[in-house]
């Protein structure tokens, strides 16, 4: 492995992962790169839908959206970035294309996991072992890449900025829905971009919501993407009081501002979980097909509801059986966990 003089490194390019939750979990590794190479400008290359994760990050100097419509657009982007003459390139995704991307940029040191025949494009690698991918914290999975090119070890603190624009959106949204910032605002995120297997049943969210309204006069905000609107509308109709529907009406930046206004957040294992965690909002997270021990950093502000059934974790998008991992998580269990957090933090 080549030795790198940290003081001579002037430019670093990072190829970001494409899932919102994973993108947030790369931020400690980006912090570590900045601490190890204090003279370097860090550029991150992202897909449009995760860009807002990195806006305002104090360790990132430039954000490049990589969303070419065709091969010609991709070649133009490569030509533009080659002019930067990056010293180090870091591939957080495991894809063949992310390693090729760094190679085409002419980056001197190209760093990432040794998988999918990527060794021909990367020159600083480490094996992607099963224990790293399925047993260690996801944050450590990305920190392990940063460890290849620096001695200083960063902590696991997630970095997520609440912009002035998102703060303004959140205030206006709450006012329009007649919710005061001093109310017991509880966010529900019932959907999941990954697939329905990660979703706790809408009927259980509705029962939980009605209990929270009765017990705490909770003001519910329903989060989600445009793909979740049907699910959210079904949920909203089952609630005793009118709720605020944000699903399909917000950008990622808007959602960050709105999550930051919540006193508590209820969600499955999906992107908004990591937004809430980064913003230190108390969370009740419901896990089923994924393993909470690999993605959830232990915290007093995080309570996990999880039933270790025989087929979990399966990591499937759709359940081929009876969805028992989610069905067995009771409303009573979730309500009790939330009640304890309300008593402690609200």
pLDDT digits 0-9 by tens, 135-184: 678 899 999 999 999 888 888 899 999 999 999 999 999 999 999 999 99
How many CB atoms are closer than 10 A to CB 189? 30
| Structure tokens that stand for 106 in this block | 């002419």
Determine the pLDDT at residue 3. 79
Task: Transcribe 177-219 into DSSP letters.
Answer: TT--TTS-EEEEE---SS-GGGPPPHHHHHHHHHHHHHHH--E
Distances from the Cα of 323 to the Cαs of 35, 227, 328, in angstroms? 44, 21, 9
Look at residue 68 and tell me whether its pLDDT is greater than 90.
no
- pTM of the complete model: 0.93
Q: Which residue has the tokens 């670093």?
A: 12
Mean pLDDT over 115-143 rounds to: 84
| Structure tokens that stand for 206 in this block | 């509705």
Task: Transcribe 14-26 into DSSP letters.
Answer: EE--SSHHHHHHT
Of residues 157, 160, 98, 153, the one with CA closest to residue 125: 98
Q: Which long-range contacts (CB under 8 A, 24 or more apart) does 290-293 make?
A: 290/198, 290/315, 291/134, 293/135, 293/137
Among 45-49, 215-219, 288-292, the range scoring the smallest mean pLDDT is 288-292
CB 315 within 8 A of CB 223: no
Q: d(Cα 74, Cα 233) in Å, to the nearest integer?
A: 39
Angle between helices 202-216 and 331-345 (to 10 degrees): 40
The pLDDT tens digits for 178-191 are: 999 999 999 999 98
Mean pLDDT over 77-105 rounds to: 96
Q: For the chain, list the domains and their CATH numbers.
A: 6-149 (3.40.50.2000), 165-345 (3.40.50.2000)
């Amino acid at each position: 492995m080549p030795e790198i003089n940290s003081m001579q490194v002037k430019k670093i390019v990072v190829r970001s992962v494409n899932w919102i939750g994973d993108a947030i979990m790369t931020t400690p590794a980006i912090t570590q790169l900045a601490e190890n190479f204090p003279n370097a400008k860090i550029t991150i290359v992202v897909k449009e839908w995760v860009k807002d994760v990195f806006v305002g990050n104090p360790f990132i100097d430039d954000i490049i959206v990589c969303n070419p419509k065709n091969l010609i657009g991709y070649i133009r982007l490569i030509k533009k970035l080659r002019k930067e003459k990056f010293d180090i390139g870091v591939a957080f995704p495991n894809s063949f294309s992310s390693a090729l991307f760094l190679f085409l940029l002419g980056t001197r040191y190209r760093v990432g996991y040794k998988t999918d025949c990527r060794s021909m494009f990367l020159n600083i690698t480490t094996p992607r072992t099963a224990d790293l991918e399925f047993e260690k914290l996801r944050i450590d999975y990305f920190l392990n890449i940063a460890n290849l090119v620096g001695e200083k070890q960063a902590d696991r603190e997630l970095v997520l900025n609440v912009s002035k624009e998102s703060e303004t959106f959140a205030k206006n949204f709450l006012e329009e829905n007649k919710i005061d910032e001093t109310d017991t605002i509880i966010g529900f995120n019932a959907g999941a971009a990954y697939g329905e297997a990660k979703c706790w049943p809408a009927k259980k969210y509705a029962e939980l919501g009605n209990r929270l309204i009765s017990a705490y006069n909770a003001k519910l905000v329903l989060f989600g993407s445009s793909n979740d609107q049907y699910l959210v509308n079904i949920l909203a109709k089952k609630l005793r009081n009118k709720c605020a529907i944000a699903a399909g009406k917000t950008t990622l930046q808007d959602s960050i501002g709105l999550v930051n206004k919540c006193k508590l957040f209820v969600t499955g294992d999906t992107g908004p979980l990591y937004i809430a965690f980064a913003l230190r909002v108390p969370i009740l997270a419901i896990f089923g097909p994924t393993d909470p021990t690999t993605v959830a950093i232990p915290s007093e502000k995080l309570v996990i509801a999880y039933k270790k059934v025989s087929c979990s974790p399966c990591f499937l998008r759709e359940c081929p059986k009876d969805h028992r991992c989610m069905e067995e998580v009771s409303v009573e269990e979730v309500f009790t966990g939330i009640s304890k957090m309300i008593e402690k933090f609200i």
